[in-house]
Structure 1
């Protein structure tokens, strides 16, 4: 799979006590146009797995190349993922990144067992974009798009 280029996202939510949780995901895609559904895959061993199993909503942030450190932090077990002040609470109190390429708010739709992962399917409730180009992960390295 290292030979397959993918975008880089972080996915965030809050649990029922209000604690923020998140993870880095390169397995993200559109699942349906009507209704608008997207999916991400989460390892069952992730510290945040229990929070996402019960979350009513989550937010997917498509990262740009300058956010490599953030992607690495969200992919590191035990790291203080929300350090640095880049996140603010959105309308439902979940953490939202202010400067991602694209921000997609989702209501939980379906969760599927997939071996050592859980597939989280969310119905898109809102999406915001800016002009920055997304990061690409290829051959275990972060890369930037070059558009002529």
Structure 2
């Protein structure tokens, strides 16, 4: 495929999205407890910010119906998904308040998904504007971690580290 050159803008949004998709990212599901019960959102925009204090960030889309629930949440849990948890990630990408078929349990008052590779219980530290997303910074309060292979997202598809996807 030949190389293309373009300036990001409204007319090149599809090409820009495709270019960003060449970078494989880990897949997370972020959960929080609301007055109506647990809610979740799948996100691949997650990064470590600082070791001291322990800060991480993630970026919910402003167009999401769940955006305000998460940017207003005092606490949340960021779950790093295992390679076999694609169905859970796909589920929460569209059905954030449906936990009926998902294994989870309360942890420090927040919904913690079972069998994830890592879960970071966070207290909201800051929320910043980030274009069509918000940048949510969380101070990590507790971590649960186990060994295993992670789920990735690249070029609009889920995959793993075994060559699939």
TM-score by length of 1: 0.90
Partner of 1:62: 80
Matched, 1:105 2:121: yes
1:84 corresponds to which residue? Answer: 101
Structure number with greater Rg is 2
Shift of 1:106: 0.4
Q: Which has the higher helix share?
A: 2
Distance in 2, matches of 1:80 and 1:88, equals: 15
Residue aligning to 2:152? 136
Unaligned runs of 5+ in 2: 1-19
How far 1:22 sits from its partner (Å)? 1.2
The TM-score, its normalising length taken from structure 2, stands at 0.82
Gaps of 5+ in 1: none
127 and 79 in structure 1: CA distance in 2 versus 1, 3 angstrom threshold: closer
8 A Cα contact 1:73 1:80, kept in partner: no
Q: Which digits, 9 at most, give the CA deviation of each residue in 1:71-119, with x for residues without a partner? A: 111111x565312141111122x11012101011100000001111111
Given candidates 7, 24, 48, the residue that maps to 2:42 is 24
- Higher relative CO (CA 8 A, sep ≥ 6), structure 1 or 2? 1
Q: Which has the higher strand share?
A: 1
Q: Is the 8 A contact 2:41 2:96 kept in 1?
A: no
Q: Over aligned residues, Cα RMSD in angstroms?
A: 1.6
Quick check: 1:8 aligned with 2:27? yes
Runs of 4+ aligned residues of structure 1 deviating over 2 Å after TM superposition are 78-81
| Pair 51,65 (structure 1): closer, same or farther in 2 beyond 3 Å | same
1:54-83 per-residue CA deviation (whole Å, 9 max, x = no partner) reads 21110000001111111111111x565312
Match in the other structure for 1:117: 133
